[in-house]
A and B are shown apart, each in its own frame.
Chain A
Amino acid sequence: MKNEAKYENKIVLSNVGNIDPTNINDYIETRGYEAAKKIVSNEYTPLNVIDIIKNSGLRGRGGAGFPTGAKWEFTAKEKADKKFIVCNADEGEPGTFKDRLILEGDPHRILEGMIIAGYAVGAQKGFIYIRGEYSTAIERITNAIKDAYEKHYLGNSILGSSFNFDIEIKKGAGSYVCGEETSLIESIEGKRGNPRIKPPYPGQKGLWNYPTVVNNVETIANVAPILLNGADWFKSFGTEKSPGTKIFTLIGNVKNPGVVELPFGITLREIIFGFGGGISNDRKLKAIHLGGASGAVYDGSILDVPLDYDALKEKEGMLGSGAVLVMDEETDMRKYLKNVLEFFKHESCGQCVPCRIGTARLCEMADDIIEKGGKEVNIEYMKHLTDVMFKSSLCPLGQSVIMPVKSIFKYFNNEF
């Protein structure tokens, strides 16, 4: 049995499953568009909005945990003819499907968050970049945009104000690296999704080189509730440095896989054994891959660490997207390592040598480990290779291969 009531603390998912996502009036009845209306009618200046978001301590939910208020402030300060808001709905991190649930279940929340972001930084146009495989989400967002235009919540002089804001949807076409913000920008421009060199950051030179805020879906879904209820309310959830809640996707060998929104500071023990009901088939826990493919893989010693964006730094890992992949005692970690490396090899865009060649070489060596056993393969060399990739790859895809590889060798050394 799922124990949702006890384990859920909803800010972001409050409407999901409770309102009809195809009916704009359902959203309005939950105080939808109230925050946006208040803001664009000049009750708040853009600076007020940025201050509230800064005070709330909201951090980006796309993986890196960058403070959202600070990101908006950079772009607000840029002088430019045009600025853009981009909602990153590319959600490709294996094990993650939280953004899909928000897009499908509460699409207007995203539009409202983007309007507020646009007002705060001085942008009049937003793009939602949705991965091409999410056909239901694309349909829901498309309809939501149409309904919002009809009500003059989008377009010129929206919500009875003098503020103009348009939103357009862009479909991806199957590429993990396009979730990386500069690659996503290239893709919106209709190009191959090869990441750009940073700096300049998108906040200064993003879409068509104009200042651009890129935020994750879950980040944007927090914006309207914060402005309605205040920064202090938001800070009453979670930890000091990571306020609010996080959506975790619990998957793998657990009794009750699924999605759960919990305040930061929660432990994996509570997520896996509380919400998830423990390991399936009465087996024992062996490993947890946390934060998606590019996160670290741990053994049970991680279970009681309170989770937030900083907690895992000393454990050489990251909370990432909030994916919690549970593996039981039957899992062969050598084969698992190979599967993870295959993922990176397949998704490497090939633009830079350390990542293109590095992922291919690592895959070959992982094959050798499976065929000949770990003693025959120079595991130290594999670790060294991930160091080189960390230092010299152009984008975080190649740089992050070090995390799963080194942690698997560290925690499951006896299997190699």
Chain B
Amino acid sequence: MKIDTILSKYEPKSENLIQILHDIQDHTEGNYLKEEDLEKVADYLKIPKSRVNGVVEFYSMFSKKPRGKYVIRLCKSPPCFVKGAFNMLDELKSQLEIDVNETTKDGLFTIETTSCLGVCDEAPVMSINNKIYGKLDSAKIKKIIENYRKGKSEI
């Protein structure tokens, strides 16, 4: 979707900033917010670019760096920690051969960590884009990643 089409869905009021940023990021290849788009948002809402940047940097779901097609966010909050989240992080890193906040060379996967995703009875938990995967273990992670490589999000 073009940026102007997205902007036109919202009244030009600064209270819509966060909602607009979500919308743009969801529709940008690479799951991120481009500098030039942020400028357009600032113009549209008639607020300083610094205010837009301040908001983008505050919220962890926004990124100014291009990310993979699939953004993996592994929860590392205490309940998932107790259920071995950090072993799962090692697993992800070794299977994808990247570190946290890096993207695989083929542009498919980015690994991030996140605070509680609100699915703690299935800990350890990760999300890939909007989908939740719980009760993780090494085999399950392997399977999920294989499936995404094949273009399927179901396990």
Contact = CB atoms under 8 A, between A and B. Distances in A.
- Whether chains A and B associate is yes
Interface of A: 91-97, 100, 131-135, 170-176, 187-193, 249-253, 257-259, 289, 293, 323, 325, 327, 331, 336, 339-340, 342-343, 346-347, 349
A174 B121 contact: no
Given A95-B79, A171-B22, A193 B16 contact: no
Interface string B66-79: 00000000001111
A339 B118 contact: no
A250 B82 CA distance: 13
19 contacts: A91-B118, A94-B79, A95-B79, A97-B121, A132-B22, A133-B61, A133-B114, A172-B18, A173-B61, A174-B59, A174-B62, A174-B115, A175-B59, A188-B15, A190-B13, A190-B14, A192-B55, A252-B79, A340-B78
B77 A343 contact: yes
Given A175-B58, A175-B60, A250-B121, A325 B79 contact: yes
A192 B13 CA distance: 16
Nearest to B57: A192
A96 B116 contact: yes
A188 B17 CA distance: 9
A249 B120 contact: yes
A170 B19 contact: yes
Given A175-B59, A191-B55, A252 B83 contact: yes
Q: How large is the interface on B (under 10, 10 to 19, 20 to 34, 35 or more residues)?
A: 35 or more
Contacts of A192: 54-55, 58
B58 A193 contact: yes
B106 to A, nearest CB: 26
Nearest to A339: B81
A340 B59 CA distance: 20
A135 B22 CA distance: 12
B115 A252 contact: no
Given A171-B18, A190-B14, A193-B58, A258 B121 contact: yes
A315 B77 CA distance: 24
Interface in B40-65: 51, 54-55, 58-62
A190 B15 contact: yes
Contacts of B121: 97, 249-251, 257-259
B3 interface: no
